[in-house]
Amino acid sequence: MTTFVLGIGVGLFVITCLWFFAALIFLISLRINKKFGFAVIALSGIITIILISVPRAYESSKLFEDKPYDHLFIWRLILLILLTASSLVGLIGYVKFELTETVQTVRITSWVFNK
């Protein structure tokens, strides 16, 4: 049997938490004008690659099974990576250039009540 955390596997839960905290630290570093957020994102990417590279343990004693393979898996994975990266770049750009933009107050002097 497989262990589930919140309905997903343990590995996916760990990677999701890793990227959530990396994004949180990245946004905090943008807000306080420090540059360590990019290092955190790079470190999370390296940790994710390491975790994905580690082979999984076999759940059954049967080593070789006849499984149908999806030959488009690599292309779908590349498309998923590109879409995720573009979404992250767009989200980061939106937060950096739209949400954190300072708006200067302007004194209204062009109209007054003349009596």
How does pLDDT run across 84-100, given as a tens digit for each residue?
Answer: 999 999 999 988 888 88
Query: What average pLDDT does this structure show over 12-37?
Result: 87
The answer to whether residue 47 is domain-embedded is yes
Q: How far is CA 87 from CA 72, 80, 93, in A?
A: 22, 10, 10
Structural domain contains residue 12 = yes
The answer as to whether 66 is a domain residue is no
Q: Is the pLDDT of residue 61 over 80?
A: no
Alpha carbon 97 to its chain's center? 19
Domain count, the chain: 1
Expressed as residue numbers, the domain containing 35 is 1-55+93-99
Give a yes or no: residue 65 inside a domain: no
pTM of the model: 0.47
Q: Is residue 80 part of a domain?
A: no
Note whether residue 4 is domain-resident: yes
- For 75, half-sphere exposure in the C-beta direction (CA atoms, 13 angstrom radius) is 3
Report how far residue 72's alpha carbon sits from residue 108's, in angstroms, rounded to the nearest whole number: 61
- The pLDDT score that the predictor gives to residue 21 is 92
CA nearest to 57, candidates 92, 105, 10: 10
Q: Answer yes or no: is pLDDT of 54 > 90.
A: no
Choose between 15 and 64: higher pLDDT. 15
